[in-house]
Structure 1
Amino acid sequence: MENIRITKEFTFETGHALYGYDGKCKNVHGHSYKLAVTVIGSPISDNNHVKLGMVIDFGDLKKIVEEEIIDPFDHATVFNKNTPHLKLAKELEGHGHKVILANYQPTSENMVLDFAEKIKARLPKNIGLHSLKLRETETAYAEWFASDN
């Protein structure tokens, strides 16, 4: 059976600040992120299977990505856990705001690496994560490809 790639796209709003950065992004700001998740596998060929012809049900892929990425990151503020913004982070949390203290600088590059690991861990064994594309703005994005890693 031949491999097929399928893609599901997601959007979410996230704020962040880049600790130690020498430009505008050192300030807390936000983005309307767009995430394209592409998986690869063989379509189900069992005529008795309810998902005949699917690599993975788009709804199943959506559930994985929403639970691992969208639900935690949407309308959250992400800080590097080593940031001097910890006081601000705790104050925001104290007022009911969603804050993520990441083990990394929250750049698109590092976020896409984090997302790849989280999604790969949840995919069925017969489905591979082919690529991710995380668009931070209309003109800037980071991509992750399994073949590069």
Structure 2
Amino acid sequence: MSTIRITKQFDFEAGHALFGYDGKCKNVHGHSYKLSVTVIGKPITDMDNVKCGMVIDFGDLKRIVKQEIVDKFDHATVFNKNTPHIELANELKARGHDVRLVDYQPTSEMMLIDFAAIINAKLPENIKLHSLRLQETGTSHAEWFASDQE
């Protein structure tokens, strides 16, 4: 049976700031992110399986990414918890804002590394994460490929 790649795209809004950065992104600002998740596998051939012909049900992939990534990052402000931004994060939290503290600089590149680990842990054994693409602006994106990690 042929190997097939399946891609699903997700949109979320998030704010962040890059501590120590020498440009405008040191300021708190936001993006309309577009996350493309591509998995790879072989279509199910068991005619008795309701998912016959599918590598993975798009709905199942959507559920994983929505629960593990989108619902947690959408309309949140992301800060590196190991920087002085923790003070701002605590103030925002105290005022009812959704703040996500991570142990990395919240760049698109580092977010992809985080997302890959999270998604990989939730995929069925027969499905592999092939690639991720995180578009930060209309002209800028970062990509993660499983083949580059080996």
* TM-score under structure 2 length normalisation: 0.98
Runs of 4+ in structure 1 off by over 3 angstroms are none
* TM-score under structure 1 length normalisation: 0.98
Aligned residue number for residue 109 of structure 1 = 109
Output aligned runs, 1:1-149, within 5 Å: 1-149=1-149
The letter of the residue matching 1:86 is: I
Q: Which runs of 5+ in 1 are unaligned?
A: none
The letter of the residue matching 2:138 is: E
1:60-80, CA deviations, whole angstroms, 9 ceiling, x for partnerless residues?
Answer: 000000111000000000001
The letter of the residue matching 2:105 is: Q
Deviation of 1:59 (Å): 0.4
Contact residue 80 and residue 86 of structure 2 kept, 8 A: no
Q: Secondary structure at the match of 1:124?
A: coil
Q: Secondary structure at the match of 2:56?
A: coil
Q: Figure out how many residues of one structure are paired with residues of the other and give that number.
A: 149
In structure 1, C-alpha distance between the alignment counterparts of 2:60 and 2:136, rounded to whole Å: 25
